[in-house]
Amino acid sequence: MIQVEHVSKRYGATLAVDDVSFEVRPGEVVGFLGPNGAGKSTLLKMMCTWLPPTAGTIRIAGHDVVKEPLEVRRKLGYLPEHNALYDTMRVDRFLDFMGRMHGLEGAFLAERLAWVIERCHLADVLGKRIRQCSKGYRQRIGLACALVHDPPVILLDEPTHGLDALQVVAFIEFIRALAPDRAILFSSHVLSEVVAASDRLLTIHRGRLILDRGIAELSDQARETQEDIETLVLDVVRKAEASA
């Protein structure tokens, strides 16, 4: 459902993403890990049509992000790192507005609104202005907007920002429950959250993909070497940093 083929992005003389290729299949949650400035958000913005790639091809549910941006947006749910919301709107009216923006109407709109309100636990704040909501609730509102049109592909950029420990656990369980019918890319700089949520781990460093391995495979290696997954991944990053 997500195909990234030899993608690069330049900002003038700066190469932010350097020849990255990977795929996310239906039913798969893939963790996307990297330090701040590694190129994660730039790549996600290209995948959701905000930025055009300098080179390479990205397809979402079979649609090219450059040639078919509107089709891509119909198939995509995106929660950005900095969640832009209309602060003066009431939560219920904002969710209704976002559903209509995705072309939903009538009974199906009502059904999808009821679903995201229940699954994102928003019933207690529906009558509030968004500016009156806590960071945790604002993150849930953003997630509800990303899911309201029932997209087959979901991009999550630092989705647990602003959530407390119990909310993070519940969020990861929620993402796992969504996975059977969708391709999900979960970007974070918190390795433990990525490992808990994902089937596979991608790691990016200085714009290059330096690791693409299954969580089960990493767990087996960790047991063999009597280390933990965090140590294995950090070793890969250190080697990449040393070679750079």
CA 8/CA 170 separation, integer angstroms? 35
Check residues 29 and 235 and name the one with the higher pLDDT: 29
Lowest mean pLDDT among 59-63, 115-119, 239-243: 239-243
Token readout for 138 is 């604002």
pLDDT at position 64: 97
Whether the pLDDT of residue 35 is over 80: the answer is no
Over residues 106-116, mean pLDDT: 96
Reported confidence tier of residue 5, pLDDT bands at 50, 70, 90: very high
Backbone angles phi, psi at 44, to 5 degrees: -65, -40
The owner of tokens 């495979």 is 217
CA 40/CA 224 separation, integer angstroms? 30
Q: Where are the alpha helices (DSSP H) in the chain?
A: 40-47, 69-75, 91-101, 106-119, 135-147, 165-178, 191-197, 215-225, 229-243
Sketch out the chain's domains with CATH numbers. 2-82+152-243 (3.40.50.300)
- pTM to 2 decimal places: 0.88
CA 191/CA 204 separation, integer angstroms? 13
pLDDT at position 118: 94
pLDDT in tens, 125-135: 999 999 999 88
CA atoms within 13 A on the CB side of 139: 16
Whether the pLDDT of residue 162 is over 80: the answer is no
Over residues 142-158, mean pLDDT: 93
pLDDT in tens, 208-227: 999 999 998 988 888 888 88
pLDDT at position 135: 84
pLDDT at position 244: 65
Angle of helix 106-119 relative to helix 135-147, nearest 10 degrees, comes to 140
CA 1/CA 65 separation, integer angstroms? 13
